[in-house]
Structure 1
Amino acid sequence: MKTLLFDYGGTLDTAARHWNYVLLDGYRHVAARFPEMRKVEGEAWRKAYVHGERMLAKSPVISPADDFRELLLKKIRIEIDFLRASETIVLSSEQAESAASHVADYCDGFARNIVSESRSILAQLATRGYRFVLVTNFYGNIRAVLRAYGIDRFFPDIVESAVVGVRKPDPAIWQLGVEVARAAADECIAIGDSYGKDIVPAQKIGCQTIWFKGEEWEEKQYDETLPTHIITRLSQLLDILK
């Protein structure tokens, strides 16, 4: 039986759009209600996004029970606090909390719609006899996220960075996925949206790879001969994986 090693964030929940763009869309979406959010652009936004990522990585603010909206809300609060502290935006505490809630609602709704589409594709692949292992950089709450979005049944086996203590792009996290699958690396197909964090390290340990090419953090030229396959829509997996 072939095993599919799936990345989560960006691959199953945003259709290969880097999360910074989805969050930025959320800030823009609430700008009619909170005009200060129109200032959240460019370098100011990138700094806030990176700050939020680093704070979540080093601070135990995410609970294993947090669903994705709760995770988003905590992250967006950190970003807005950073933007207020740097005087990029001027909001009262009450306005900041309301804005964070509205951005979280927007982004959660976006992800929920994409995951619904991904669920259908996973179901079809499951009927073809494929086994799934999730290999993800996440915060210790991925099971709660999958459960809330209705795809937990597809992933009884999960390798989550916060749990195993290894993060992408370290190939070791993909090797753990292979070991969980109890398969040889060349019997596993790694699927992810990040060329550097998913495709390169998975290929390095001997997996076949499918790059879900989309909108990454930075535009770069990549060696497109490295992935076994390249897709631009998740549904294309159904044509490749017969």
Structure 2
Amino acid sequence: MSTLKDIKGIIFDYGGTIDTNSRHWAEVLWSKYVAHQVPVDKESFREAYVFGERALAKYPFVQPGHNFYDVLAIKAKLQMEYLALQKKLPMDEALLQSYATKVADSCYEYVLDVLKVTRPVVELLAKRYKLVLVSNFYGNIQTILKDFGLFTYFDDIIESSVVGVRKPDPAIYKMGVDAMGYDAQDVLVVGDSFSKDVVPAKQVGCRVAWLQGEGWGGEVIDESLPDVIMTDLAQLPALL
């Protein structure tokens, strides 16, 4: 694996990287379904999760002023309504809202705990490197970063719903490199998704630190592709 000692700038992914420190959001949500005894099986949940993500990408449920709790509440409500329509949960509005609120509340608390680990890493690296964020998100990433005290650490933000390009299209990482103003080989990309972060970033010519964790499953993995592999974002500063 190559050295990262000579990099000049860092591109961070957000979801699954800064907010969950390597856990895919589907796994985080499912763990809260289990914790709050939402009576559905995992396959039904996966279908609801995919439905919700597609709906959020297609329709403007999330507005620029929504913070992360708002996003979680909207996601959970969409999932519960889908499960009810599929007859996996009772068509009881009060019950569905109760489940959605419990899941959103506990997911938000989870993120606040994770940020105690990941925010200091971003803060430290912002003192040493130019940072750019590249994220598939809903048009409100700036609100979320401000809410979580992260906004000032990034020199630029490339958000899929704003620029009209989504990962895994390598063009979004090319935008990140252009915003950085360095050669791609001098830029390190940090992300949790092998197919959406590692592969397109390498196609653009960046170096990559893969935050390997609890993924969605089904990806073809080539561990020789990333320059370094981590299991915790807190490991990153020592690698640089």
- Other-structure match for 1:42: 42
- The one-letter code matched in structure 2 to 1:55 is A
User: Aligned residue pairs: how many?
Assistant: 234
Which 4+ runs in 1 deviate beyond 2 A?
none
TM-score of the pair, normalised by structure 1: 0.93
- Other-structure match for 1:211: 210
- Other-structure match for 1:6: 12
Once the two structures are superposed, residues 85-141 of structure 1 have per-residue CA deviations (whole angstroms, 9 ceiling, x without a partner) of 1110115111211221111000011112112311111122223x2111000000000
Q: Please, which moves more after superposition, 205-214 or 82-91?
A: 82-91
- Other-structure match for 1:166: 165
- Other-structure match for 2:189: 190
Higher relative contact order (CA 8 A, sep 6+): 2
Verify the 8 A CA contact 2:130 2:155 in the aligned structure 1: no
Query: Superposed, which structure 2 residues align to 1:116-155 within 5 Å?
Result: 116-127=116-127, 129-155=128-154
Once the two structures are superposed, residues 47-95 of structure 1 have per-residue CA deviations (whole angstroms, 9 ceiling, x without a partner) of 0000000000001110100000101111111100000011101151112
Tell me the CA shift for residue 43 of structure 1.
1.4
Query: Superposed, which structure 2 residues align to 1:106-117 within 5 Å?
Result: 106-117=106-117
Q: Percent identity?
A: 41
Q: Tell me the SS of whatever aligns to 1:61.
A: coil
Cα distance in 2 between the residues matched to 1:114 and 1:52: 24
Cα distance in 2 between the residues matched to 1:213 and 1:50: 22
Cα distance in 1 between the residues matched to 2:26 and 2:230: 21
- Other-structure match for 1:34: none
1:63 aligns with 2:63: yes
Tell me the CA shift for residue 29 of structure 1.
2.0
1:29 aligns with 2:28: no
Once the two structures are superposed, residues 177-200 of structure 1 have per-residue CA deviations (whole angstroms, 9 ceiling, x without a partner) of 001111111111001000110001
Verify the 8 A CA contact 2:36 2:99 in the aligned structure 1: yes
- The one-letter code matched in structure 2 to 1:115 is L
Cα distance in 1 between the residues matched to 2:182 and 2:34: 45
Q: Please, which moves more after superposition, 211-220 or 141-150?
A: 211-220
Once the two structures are superposed, residues 27-56 of structure 1 have per-residue CA deviations (whole angstroms, 9 ceiling, x without a partner) of 12222xxxxx132x2211110000000000
Verify the 8 A CA contact 2:76 2:103 in the aligned structure 1: yes
TM-score of the pair, normalised by structure 2: 0.94
Q: Tell me the SS of whatever aligns to 1:38.
A: coil
Verify the 8 A CA contact 2:195 2:219 in the aligned structure 1: no
